[in-house]
Amino acid sequence: MKKLISSLALSLLTISISHADEKTLQNKLDQTYPELHAQVTGKSPISGIYEVMVEGELTYTDDNGRYFFIGNLIDYPNKRSVSQQRMQELSRIDVKKLPLTQAIKHVKGNGQRVLYIFTDPDCPYCKQLEKDLTQVNNITLYIFPYPITALHPNAATTAQKIWCSAKPYEAWQSYVLQDKQPTGSTNCKNPIEANSQLGKQLGVDGTPTFFLKDGQRISGARSAQQIEQLLNTVK
């Protein structure tokens, strides 16, 4: 029993020291490099090296926060990318917190599978994704119009007109698939600006970006077959 208690005490001490180390490093980074807005997310598998998120990118630093490096950390014996796996974990979101009233909803078939999509009506890759989604059934789509006006100056106005249309999903499909201009006004209450803020909060820096039901983030267009595979991995 004494050995068990000693073992538990040692484990708890190790955990406490680990958290203390991370907190110390975080304080040091905040004080030394406030412009980085760096966030310590944990220890890496390498002794003395920590994971740090900087501007949405996973980086690594020593326990003094002096040396930083960016790269793909590979677990070679197991042939896996530690960095990629960790980034997927860190980029997940809680989809239950998404404001679905700010999205265009469309249900196909039984609607059991779900995608939450941040998409720009004038983005070529977004249009390709929409084309591939026409081949995917039994799905509920939540389309968050997310115009990136730096690339597509008219996208915000187009998104507003689509939202203000009598049938927003049909107007969306007609525009992105057939290039038919929406006939809605831009005067109705719409969430386009709110979606812009939401996307920034979630770290959406390109379109299309979509999320699965479990919060997994997927950046860029995918084929219908790839979308099916992704959807089928989520219970």
Q: Distance from first CA to last CA of the chain, Å, rounded?
A: 41
Residue ranges in 91-186 assigned as alpha helix (H) = 124-133, 155-163, 168-178
- Per mean pLDDT, which range of 94-98, 158-162, 168-172, 181-185 is the poorest? 181-185
Is residue 17 over pLDDT 60? no
Is residue 229 over pLDDT 70? yes
The DSSP secondary-structure symbol of 97 reads G
Res. 81 pLDDT band, cuts 50 70 90: very high
Instruction: Kindly tell me the burial class for residue 77, based on how many C-beta atoms sit within 10 Å of its own C-beta (0-12, 13-18, 19 or more).
Output: exposed
Does residue 147 have a cis peptide bond before it, meaning omega lies within 30 degrees of 0? Answer: no
Average pLDDT of span 180-205: 92
Structural domain boundaries of the chain?
2-90, 95-232
Is residue 97 over pLDDT 70? yes
| pLDDT tens-digit series, residues 146-163 | 999 999 999 999 999 999
Q: Which residues, 6 or more positions from 68, have their beta carbon under 8 angstroms from its beta carbon?
A: 52, 54, 59, 60, 61
Domains 2-90 and 95-232 share a fold: no
CATH class of the domain comprising 2-90? alpha beta
CATH fold of 95-232, please?
Glutaredoxin (3.40.30)
Res. 51 pLDDT band, cuts 50 70 90: very high
62 conformational bin, left if phi > 0, alpha if psi -120 to 50, beta if neither: beta
